Amino acid sequence: MIGLISATAAGAAARDRLAAAWPDRTRVYEGPAGEAVRAAFAECDRLVCFLATGATVRLLAPLLGDKAADPGVVCVDEGGRFAVSLVGGHGGGANELAHEVAELLGAEPVVTTATDAVGLAGLDTLGLPVEGAVAAVSRALLDGEPVVLEAESAWPLPPVPFAGQGAYTVRLTDRAVQPRADEVLLRPPSLVVGVGASKGASVEEVLGLIEEALRDAGLSVRSVAELATVDAKSEEPGIVAAAERLGVPLVTYPADELAAVSVPNPSDAPLAAVGTPSVAEAAALRRGGELLVPKRKSAATPAMATCAVLRRPGRGRLAVVGLGPGARDLLTPRAAAELRRASVLVGLDQYVDQIRDLIRPGTRVLESGLGAEEERARTAVAEAREGHAVALIGSGDAGVYAMASPALAEASDDIDVIGVPGVTAALAAGAILGAPLGHDHVSISLSDLHTPWEVIERRVRAAAEADIVVTFYNPRSRGRDWQLPKALAVLAEHREPGTPVGVVRNASRPDESARLTTLAALDPASVDMMTVVTVGNTATRNIAGRMVTPRGYRWQHAPEGAR
């Protein structure tokens, strides 16, 4: 929960904007500022104070304790010009909150955390539990000193500029080891604990068994990703409470699925009780991995709980990112976040140039020229299979005539795939032209490099006969100059010569150009590969210089009050 505190009418107005935008995330604290800050500090995860920074510091000073536990605090000035991350930038989430608040209020985010200021991913922001000399190793990274990554397993980490050798170390491990004075430990969520329990088993017995099994195997409890059990035990209080205390999800499986898992220590007792010869081992092994701790029983007499521990291999992460049509303000926040998240970026060289300033230090960039789409897709998938966090970029939406389909044709279920949508060229052009896509519409690429012209022509003819608005991608190049005239001729068999046609080149870019013409007047020679051509249907009109397709055929003839 985010506590909101203000002391003046101007602050209250901005405060109320946040409260209205985030009704489920915020709580307004009324009354004197000092009392409100104290109450919010005790009850909330983060605070936004619409107060002067000096006043906020004085109110916070006696409340501050441990930076790992204190809430993050953002301070917004009376004029709403700046959102300052004041306390708990990383651990308390204030840096991220400052950006969110600034975006909503139209303010400037102010983040002074050293790593954020220079674009480095902070070691405590990598999404993994961290131990050891975080400050010293972070300072070494900031100073350009070599820091070595020792990864005991592959894991899709965000970018950090690691070196081959150096005095400082970041070690990725799920083993129960203590960090050296010059070392940071990162704990990957690689351990799955399968759990079985008799009815009425206490949380102390279940949790004690888990902790003992991990300790004896030399494994860190901070790397436990989940507890797993059979569906029949999904509400067993001791198991549910153990998962809550560990702060991990409880995953359950049907008995018949667990019965199909081959285990080293099957038993008749669980088979009779819940329908599977194994609960703990089978639940741990259900999704694959290395069994580190076979089934063991709790020490109580009679034993009421069993557990088994498995190490799950790290899964690479492939984000297929649409960059939009070119303008930076049409790059979505989610796309920008994925670019910062990636340790490997794969893309066409000219698209990489568009977003090079967003790439964090330590990101490995693999760029290539036109015509290497399949090679880029294979490269991105191969890098993800190596355990990296990969961003494969494309213009517009990566799933529309771009990199998503060749990449997903290569990818199997051994990596995680995240799709990040982008604003397409058709949408960007449509917004410039007016509202040409107000009813059914279709996009058709006129490039016959990968699709036979006979197939393309059949699709154009179907769209023409169905009276659907058509946007042509890849309409004309120096080597392909006859396809657009042919496609327009097919449309002309079913549409009037005066049908509106919109022509937009480099939509949203500095050299953007747009014009509205007609099906009969369009000169194909004026079109190139940077252009999209949108041809209206029989209902599309030129209204005040804008291309408009009504929402429906009945709608355009309805009385004014019925629209």
Q: Phi, psi at residue 427, to the nearest 5°?
A: -70, -40
pLDDT (0 to 100) of residue 153: 86
Q: What value does the mean pLDDT take over residues 300-328?
A: 93
Q: What value does the mean pLDDT take over residues 187-211?
A: 95
Query: Is pLDDT at 116 greater than 70 in this prediction?
Result: no
Question: Distance between CA 522 and CA 534 in Å, rounded?
Answer: 11
Q: What value does the mean pLDDT take over residues 421-434?
A: 96
Query: Is pLDDT at 121 greater than 90 in this prediction?
Result: no
**Helix/strand/coil (H/E/C) assignment for every residue in 111-178:** CCCHHHHCCCCCHHHCCCCEEECHHHHHHHHHCCCCEEEEECCCCCCCCCCCECCCCEEEEECCECCC
What does R_g of the chain's alpha carbons equal in angstroms?
29
Q: What value does the mean pLDDT take over residues 74-82?
A: 87
Query: Is pLDDT at 562 greater than 60 in this prediction?
Result: no
Assigned token pair, 233: 């035990």
pLDDT (0 to 100) of residue 162: 84
Query: Is pLDDT at 498 greater than 90 in this prediction?
Result: yes
Query: Is pLDDT at 376 greater than 60 in this prediction?
Result: yes
Query: Is pLDDT at 325 greater than 60 in this prediction?
Result: yes
**Helix/strand/coil (H/E/C) assignment for every residue in 474-533:** CCCECCECCHHHHHHHHHHCCCCCCCEEEEEECCCCCCCEEEEEECCCCCHHHCCCCEEE
**In the Cβ-directed half-sphere of 544, how many Cα atoms lie within 13 Å?**
2
Q: What value does the mean pLDDT take over residues 476-497?
A: 94
Higher pLDDT, 307 or 551: 307
Q: What value does the mean pLDDT take over residues 242-256?
A: 96
pLDDT (0 to 100) of residue 174: 95
What letter represents residue 441's amino acid?
A: H
Query: Is pLDDT at 548 greater than 90 in this prediction?
Result: yes
Query: Is pLDDT at 557 greater than 80 in this prediction?
Result: no
pLDDT tens-digit readout, 130-154: 899 888 888 888 788 888 989 888 8
pLDDT (0 to 100) of residue 120: 67
**Given pLDDT bands bounded at 50, 70 and 90, which one contains residue 508?**
very high
pLDDT (0 to 100) of residue 554: 63
- β-bridge pairing 168-172 and 147-151: parallel
pLDDT (0 to 100) of residue 118: 58
pLDDT (0 to 100) of residue 420: 95
Query: Is pLDDT at 489 greater than 90 in this prediction?
Result: yes
- Where b means 16+ CB within 10 Å and e means fewer, 319-340 reads bbbbbbbbbeebbbeebbebbe
pLDDT (0 to 100) of residue 99: 86
Query: Is pLDDT at 552 greater than 90 in this prediction?
Result: no
Query: Is pLDDT at 222 greater than 70 in this prediction?
Result: yes
The strand pairing partners of 50, in sequence order, are 6
Q: What value does the mean pLDDT take over residues 504-511?
A: 93
pLDDT (0 to 100) of residue 115: 58
Cα-based torsion angle of the residue sequence 484, 485, 487, 492 in order, rounded to the nearest 10 degrees: 140
> Edge to edge, what strands does the sheet with 108-110 contain?
26-29, 2-6, 46-50, 72-76, 82-87, 108-110
pLDDT (0 to 100) of residue 504: 97
pLDDT (0 to 100) of residue 537: 96
pLDDT (0 to 100) of residue 563: 46
Q: Is the pTM of this model over 0.75?
A: yes
The residue among 519, 435, 531 whose CA lies nearest residue 485 is 519
Q: What value does the mean pLDDT take over residues 403-416?
A: 92
Query: Is pLDDT at 114 greater than 60 in this prediction?
Result: no
